[in-house]
Structure 1
């Protein structure tokens, strides 16, 4: 371990807390606060990986990424920031950064990111998600754990297990929030490509010309803004798996180019003259009925047949019966641990409500609902009023920490179905409110309109709350 080297381009305060752990583990740690010092350390010690702030006095990480672009043996670069954004992450990843993290830096996460000798490092999922893409269920050593005992779900799982080891293309369909990406990660993890790259691309997130560059890459100067060569996602996924999320939203012209990659295993970068061979397993997801999309001329029939080798249709949460309660308890356990709260249970009334609700947002909606309920219950029994679906029926929190539950329509003397039995250790409502608002902004990448919609409040109310937090000295984006 003593030969492993790390370079940090950052203020010393960024690594003060973790430096003793790195030193005790036998790492050689370099610290530079400018580009010249970084190049000197790289030339002398050749670190295994570099962690860099986006900018320092007289330095920007773009300089380092440009140097890496010109040197195939340059160490991989992880950009980390104390105040990140989705747009900044996308920018640096497109310029060649290996990953983008938010502070604080964690010793375990750094260790996991350092590559074995002679290998490129694997990307480590960020501690804080910027785009609201937090997986519904955490990954295990063999990919994500899929929870569900319902017969329809078990049939899907049986088919997934059967086809996972193959290289066959799989088309995963289902309503939004049913776990299509989770299944794609499961298929990848249980294939012989499981130790190789898994690259996900949202086909609905980018216009046609940008999506083409994202998938197939481009050469320097091929269009305005193409300041350097960029490898496409198919090249980055070589020997691994690529997920084409929401494939139905891809433009018809681009579908033809995708078909060539699927049939021939080769591609051309935008503006390039060299044909590049790739070995990639393709998984695709859609929340549409692609057969109807084909009939309407919105999707190529030949591409549909090429993608639909193995069809995997996920049932909605409303079709999964008691899986709702199994999943709810899983999420409750996950969030009580995340927020260091006592173990919480569902009341009989809450269980009944969960079973009768129609779940238009499926598992994603259930997960968000359980996070909210865990925070508002504060370690006590979770009641229907903690779900807060209707702002007009939100419970009233008194100054002494006792809550009157208006959502259940019962009074506090009934002994059941209310939220009045709080202990004195309840998290203050203003703190819960602040946490929920900041989580909403985080999950929507700072989009206030979407965050207000997610929280069930008006944009004006959200704006007023943020102004209030700023006036209290809080650092609010």
Structure 2
């Protein structure tokens, strides 16, 4: 689930790519452009939750863009520059910028500033359920929501654990407080501590001003630690202390800040086994596992499949501006019910989006349900398309897909060999943990089930 949509404006291509990677890994939806003029065109066509812009660019530059935004919208604007002075910062804030970042800055500085100023999205998604197992789970979740106990939500990737966490928050006494989610797998290790606990000015290179962490941002509400099993052992010890003492100390700080935060956590791995093997702190496991809930895989709750599919149809058709919501015919419904859904709800979401593109006449048939590439080859009539496409050499056809598939097989085999340890897999493959996390996230989005 996207944390928000950002427009990134930076004329330095290399820096723009680095900033884009940082924002995407933190689960933000991001559009990037190279000039203020391009940004204005994008702003007329799309809506954004925040704009991050360089100041010194050709054309009207960042200040010109800020003036335009000040006249036409209330979107928060964060400016960046390599030529920062106090006067420039004061002038930019007077013109309406929420803050001013001096280059170079650390990735965690950017992410903390973004989370500080971006308005949280109001999400009203209620779990869409019809299966007896799911109804029983929601009934249990509603009971635990009335307490302030920590909840550990287990379940396979893509099954909807964050939706269940939001449901607990929305049915709790903290419903009027913030719901803050942080994906422990998506944020690089050296950034996660600062993102969670916050930092004071001068705590590290690039920390030009103090910034509250996720715990402080969740005061009076709920903090979700998504994929907590991916957190390093050293940071787990610090997290345990925060949970025990109900207070946090910012990086570089000297005072403790009292907390009033309920903590929920999710994982797609067997935390109890990880605790037994020493991969996860046993004391932290028992601290967060006060009330365990398990969200089953989609194929274990088949009565949920069609209600979910119809809900996703309505959501995507509405966001696409379709006047008519397409309906599933009987053959399409049977196809959805007979598939095993290894990628769970995320895979179903992808299939529904494809069906919306292919459907015609307001009815989705079996030929519109493409679950894998073979379905597409079997169902699509390519005779008209083939006439207009210049043939390419056979040895190049599908080469990119083949290489990606081989990469996916290697990652899955290595995960099995290393019994799911992401750290060992990254070392064995000779890539960084961040790169591995990114590749695994892409695989999950494609509906590939990652072993726990």
TM-score range, shorter chain: 0.5 to 0.7
Distance in 2 (CA, whole Å) between partners of 1:451 and 1:210 is 21
Give SS of 1:322's match: helix
Matched length: 336
User: In the alignment, is the contact (CA less than 8 A) between 1:65 and 1:95 conserved in 2?
Assistant: no
Does structure 2 retain, via aligned residues, the 8 Å contact 1:76–1:97? no
Question: Any idea what the Cα deviations from partners look like across 1:325-351, whole Å, max 9, x if unmatched?
Answer: 111122122222332333322222222
Q: Does 1:206 align with 2:169?
A: no
Q: Please state if 1:376 is matched with 2:358.
A: yes
Residue equivalent to 1:215: 196
Q: Is the 8 A contact 1:324 1:355 kept in 2?
A: yes
Matching of residue 359 in structure 1 with residue 336 in structure 2: no
Measured after TM superposition, the shift of residue 304 of structure 1 is 0.9
Tell me, yes or no, if the aligned pair for 2:155 and 2:297 is still in contact at 8 Å.
Answer: yes
Cross-structure match for 1:190:
171
Q: Give the whole-Å Cα distance in 2 for the aligned partners of 1:453 and 1:233.
A: 25
Whether 1:350 and 2:332 are equivalent positions in the alignment is yes
Cα-to-partner distance string for 1:34-86 (whole Å, 9 max, x where unaligned): 869989xx9xxxxx976337579x999x9659987xx9xx989399xxxxxxx
- Which residue in the other structure is 1:77 paired with? 98
Structure 1 length normalisation: TM-score?
0.60
- Pair 174,64 (structure 1): closer, same or farther in 2 beyond 3 Å: farther
Give the TM-score, by structure 2 length. Answer: 0.63
The alpha carbon displacement at 1:14 in A equals: 7.7
- 2:113 maps to what in 1? 95
* Higher relative helix content: 2
RMSD between aligned residues: 4.3
For structure 1, which runs of at least 5 residues remain unmatched after alignment?
1-9, 19-31, 43-47, 80-86, 101-121, 126-138, 401-446, 457-477
State the match for 1:468 in structure 2: none
Trace 1:326-475 onto structure 2 (pairs within 5 A). 326-341=307-322, 342-394=324-376, 395-397=380-382, 399=384
SS at match of 1:124: coil
Give, in whole Å, the separation in 2 of the partners of 1:37 and 1:325.
46
Q: Which has the higher contact order (CA 8 A, sep 6+)?
A: 2
Distance verdict in 2 for CA 1:324–1:392, change over 3 Å: closer
Match of residue 239, structure 1, among 210, 220, 224: 220
Whether the aligned pair in 1 keeps the contact of 2:154 and 2:161 (CA below 8 Å) is yes
How far is the alpha carbon of 1:372 from its aligned partner? 0.9
Residue number among 159, 170, 177 corresponding to 2:151 in the alignment: 170
Other structure's SS at 1:366 match: helix
Q: Aligned equivalents of 2:229 and 2:204: distance in 1?
A: 26
Contact (CA 8 Å) 2:157, 2:444: kept in 1 or not? no
Residue 52 (1) aligns with residue 73 (2):
no
